[in-house]
Amino acid sequence: MRVGVPKEIKNHEYRVGLTPASVAELTAAGHEVLVEALAGNGIDFSDRDYMDAGARILPNAAEVFAAAEMIVKVKEPQPSEIAMLRPHHTLFTYLHLAPDPAQAKGLMASGATCIAYETVTSKSGALPLLKPMSEVAGRMSVQVGAHYLEKEQGGRGVLLGGVPGVAPARVAILGGGISGVNAAQMAVGMRADVTIYDINNDRLAELDMFFSSQIKTQYASRAAIAAAVERAHLVIGAVLVPGAAAPKLVTREMLKTMKRGSVLVDIAIDQGGCFETSRPTTHDDPVFVEEGVIHYCVANMPGAVARTSAFALNNATLPFVVRLANLGAAGAMAADPHLAAGLNVMGGQIRHKAVAEALDLPFVA
């Protein structure tokens, strides 16, 4: 199969769909890999690195799309990329279609087979291709939250871990999944006062055992979230409903009760965000203020630590890329129902139920 790797063009996106090591695996299996010139420069991989791994370098994205049968990316295709997709293409990347009807309609019009990293499942029902970036985003959320709590950044002027004689900052984490746990690990390491909120009592019990006395847990009722928001210095939104839009857990009215200079970090922004006042931001302009509260809602947070993120993502995606290349999309999905769960769009139709419901479009099984 001819596998294409275009250069990412989303704002400040430096990750790359395949590292040279991943390319070497594919070429060793007899596949042809076509990489756009400078695709890996953002994480210090040169065109020569790719050529040494067996790739052929093409001068622009148009030539990559024209020659390739499968396109492997990191972020959702931008309009200029959607325009280059054809019915024979298999697109394998993060899509996050639920809050993005324009992208969904573009992919439907292309006729391409579009498989989303974020809805591929494992035997346990977990999301193995979302996990590495959830880990990165969770850890980053505390890092950026602590930064924007600084007075110079417009924050309240609170040190996350406090000092002897001065209480630490209070951190509320909404969601006890992969992102939430990684956020809690970082916040605990910085000696913050951490509470995780979730609606799954079994999960809360697991977290209580895992963290012991390092954190507190609480059932995420509306009243509990309202109280948490009122007292927290940093609120991290880490909820996830696979394929669907994130629920709006924090309303504007709740926001009005927060202390001026407090910070919200919305990890769920790729799926529409879990704060009513959230809107996507970029690494160029990462924050905005609503009701005196700083909002960090960057839609590709892991892109800021692109080298770490690219390696972590490739570790997870490579086995699926190889399977798709070896068997073709139809054969690979027939052989692996967990990969098939990643199918979002094919033949002009929405093929994932949660995505269809979120977009109010027909679902085709």
* Residues designated as active site: 96, 270
* Calpha distance 180→215 (Å, rounded): 12
User: Beta strand pairing status for 287-290 and 293-296?
Assistant: antiparallel
At residue 140, what is the residue type? M
Inter-residue contact 217 to 198 (CB < 8 Å): yes
Question: Residue type for 305, please?
Answer: V
Task: Select from 349, 241, 327, 353 the least CA-distant residue to 69.
Answer: 327
Tell how strand 113-116 and strand 90-93 pair up. parallel
Structure tokens at 229: 């928001």
Q: Retrieve residue 244's tokens.
A: 């669907």
Residue matched to tokens 């809690």: 184
Structure tokens that stand for 134 in this block: 């959830």
